[in-house]
Amino acid sequence: MRSSFLLLLTFLLGVTDIQAGSDFRVCAFNTQHFGESKSQKSDVMQTLVKIITRCDVCLLQEVRDSKGKALKLLLEHLKRYDTKHEYKAVASERLGRSETYQEQYVFVYRTDTVTVADQYQYPDDKPGDIDAFSREPFVVRFRAPKTAIKEFVLIPQHTTPANTTKELDALYDVLQHVKKMWKTENVMLLGDFNAGCGYLAKKNRKRVRLITDQNLFWLIQENTDTTVRSSTSCSYDRIVVNGETFHRAILPSSAKPFNFQVEYRLTEEQVTALLVSDHYPVEVLLKVVDSRGLDGGTSITSGNQFIALFVLSHVAFQILTR
Ligand SMILES: *[C@@H]1O[C@H](CO)[C@@H](O)[C@H](O)[C@H]1NC(C)=O
Q: Hey, whose CA ends up nearest to atom 10 of ligand 1?
A: 163
> In this structure, which residue's CA is closest to atom 13 in ligand 1?
162
* Stretch 120-127: mean pLDDT: 85
Nearest CA to ligand 1 atom 5: 132
pLDDT bucket at 317, cuts 50 / 70 / 90: low
Give the tens place of pLDDT for each residue, 145-158. Answer: 999 999 999 999 99
Question: How many whole angstroms separate alpha carbon 130 and alpha carbon 128?
Answer: 6
Distance from the CA of 204 to the center of ligand 1, in angstroms?
A: 17
C-alpha of residue 303 to centroid of ligand 1, in Å: 56
Q: What is the pLDDT of residue 311?
A: 63
Closest by alpha carbon to 29, among 203, 284, 241? 284
Amino acid identity of residue 91, one-letter, is A
Nearest Cα residue to 314 out of 1, 19, 8, 16: 8
**E strand or H helix at 105:** strand 104-110
Taking the centre of ligand 1 as the mean of its atom positions, its distance from the CA of residue 163, in whole angstroms, is: 7
Q: What ligand 1 atom has the least distance to the C-alpha of 134?
A: 14
pLDDT, one tens digit per residue, over 154-183 is 999 999 999 999 999 999 999 999 999 999
Is the pTM of the predicted complex or chain greater than 0.75? yes
Hey, which residues are catalytic here?
103, 158
Contact yes or no for 97/125 (Cβ under 8 A): no
Q: Can you list the alpha helix ranges (DSSP code H) found in the chain? A: 2-19, 36-39, 42-52, 69-81, 164-182, 209-212, 244-248, 260-263, 272-276, 303-320
C-alpha span between 97 and 133 (Å, rounded): 9
Please, what are the domains in the chain?
1-22+301-322 (no CATH), 24-297 (3.60.10.10)
DSSP, collapsed to helix, strand or coil, labels residue 219 as coil
The set of protein residues with a Cβ atom below 6 angstroms from ligand 1 is 97, 131, 134, 160, 162-163
Band the pLDDT of 298: cuts 50, 70, 90: very low
- Distances, alpha carbon 3 to alpha carbons 120, 316, 317, in Å: 57, 12, 11
Q: What is the pLDDT of residues 3-24, one digit of tens each?
A: 555 455 445 554 444 434 558 9
Closest by alpha carbon to 71, among 84, 60, 83? 60
Q: Tell me the chain's radius of gyration from C-alpha atoms.
A: 21
Q: What percent of the chain has pLDDT over 70?
A: 81
pLDDT at 279: 97
Distance 131 CA to ligand 1 centre (A): 9
Residues in Cβ contact with 230 at an 8 Å cutoff, skipping those fewer than 6 apart: 268
